Each structure stands twice: as C-alpha cells, then as structure tokens.
C-alpha cells in the first residue's frame, strides 16, 4: 500500500456543493435531539432513542429525495 496525497482543499466548487447535504443532515439531526428529550413528559433514554432514530430516518428520506 503506497501513501497518496491528502487533500486539504476541495478539488472543485462542485465538491463543496456535494458535501452540503451531508452537513445539513448532520446539523438537523443533532440540533433537534436535545429539545426533544427536554420536552418529553417522561424522559427516558430508550424512548428518546426511538424518537430520534425515527426523526433521522425521516430526515434521511427527505434529503435522499
């Protein structure tokens, strides 16, 4: 295995725009998880995990579409 060059900058502007859906998806998922937990009537990690997982699947479907 030979080491290759490590890119420190995007190769083109298109590469920057290709990364935007991933960045937006990660931002949407992590920002909404804390308020969801705080707004639950009975905050439990198991229930919260299910809600957050369902929200991530919905967001993934929207971004994939």
**pLDDT tens, residue by residue, 50-63:** 877 887 788 778 87
First to last CA, the chain: 38
Among 63, 24, 22, 54, CA closest to 36: 54
Domain range list for the chain: 11-62
**Binning pLDDT at 50, 70 and 90, where does residue 39 land?**
confident
Q: Which of 23, 22, 25, 50 is nearest to 36 (CA)?
A: 50
What pLDDT digit, counting tens, does each position of 12-25 carry? 888 888 878 777 77
> pTM (2 decimals)?
0.48
- Please say whether the beta carbons of 28 and 63 come within 8 A: no
């Amino acid at each position: 295995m030979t080491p290759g060059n490590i890119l420190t900058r995007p190769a083109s502007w298109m590469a920057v725009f290709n990364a935007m859906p991933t960045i937006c998806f990660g931002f949407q998922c992590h920002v909404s998880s804390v308020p969801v937990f705080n707004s639950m009537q009975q905050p439990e990690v198991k229930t919260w995990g299910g809600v957050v997982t369902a929200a991530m699947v919905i967001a993934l479907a929207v971004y994939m579409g």
